[in-house]
Amino acid sequence: MNPYQAAALRRRASMVGAMGFQTPQLVGYSGYPQLVGGPGGSVALQGQNPGSMGTVMVPGQPSDSRLWILPFPSTTIGGGGVGTASSSVQVPLCRPNRLILTDSAGAGSLTDITIGQRSQFIATGNCPIATFGPTAVDTLINFDTATTGQNINLFYANGAVGSTTILATALCTVAV
């Protein structure tokens, strides 16, 4: 990107911010995914990683953002087993901020979270479900931005001898 393109991008981002829509809520790390102005007042969400599906055009300029709930189906996992819960995003730009999980047996763990195919863990391993419990504090995370039709997947493992039921909800910042 040359200096003229960078300056134009900064001007466009400042105009979007002036309309009450705060771009940091939907702009990813290291410059991608990026929320940038597109032709005809549309908004483009650049591909989430090099070589990805490319740029997704979203009609119209978002004028605001709000917090919406993204439910996941309840998942019952047998003793020592694994399971997955998926939810498909139904809005153009959606960034999960907080994940709320409950585990009936109390011995479950989260083994991965993916948005599309991109893992949200920086290393492999298990994370206790209690980390994202309903009363947990300091669990606000800026996950990657998802677009319409992308799945957000939660992968679980049950460490208990008996079966467990896991319930999950994500609170998401959505461009409106």
The Cα-based distances of 158 to 73, 84, 112, 127, 135 in angstroms read 17, 11, 13, 12, 21
Do 55 and 98 belong to one domain? no
Question: By three-state DSSP, how is residue 139 classified?
Answer: coil
* pTM as predicted: 0.66
The Cα-based distances of 22 to 82, 110, 166 in angstroms read 38, 31, 34
Domain C-terminal end among 33, 61, 89: 61
Question: By three-state DSSP, how is residue 83 classified?
Answer: strand
Do 99 and 23 belong to one domain? no
In the prediction, which pLDDT does 82 show? 96
* Residue 93 to residue 62: CA distance in whole angstroms: 9
Handedness of CA 9, 64, 140, 128 (dihedral sign): negative
Two structure tokens written together for 128: 């206790």
* Nearest Cα to Cα of residue 167 among 90, 83, 89, 91: 83
pLDDT in tens, the chain (176 residues): 566 566 555 655 554 444 343 444 444 433 334 444 444 444 544 444 444 444 455 556 667 889 999 999 999 999 999 999 999 999 988 999 999 999 998 899 999 999 999 999 999 999 999 999 999 988 889 899 999 999 999 999 999 999 999 999 999 999 88
In the prediction, which pLDDT does 39 show? 43
Do 52 and 84 belong to one domain? no
Do 80 and 119 belong to one domain? yes
In the prediction, which pLDDT does 75 show? 95
In the prediction, which pLDDT does 26 show? 46
In the prediction, which pLDDT does 100 show? 96
> What is the number of structural domains in the chain?
2
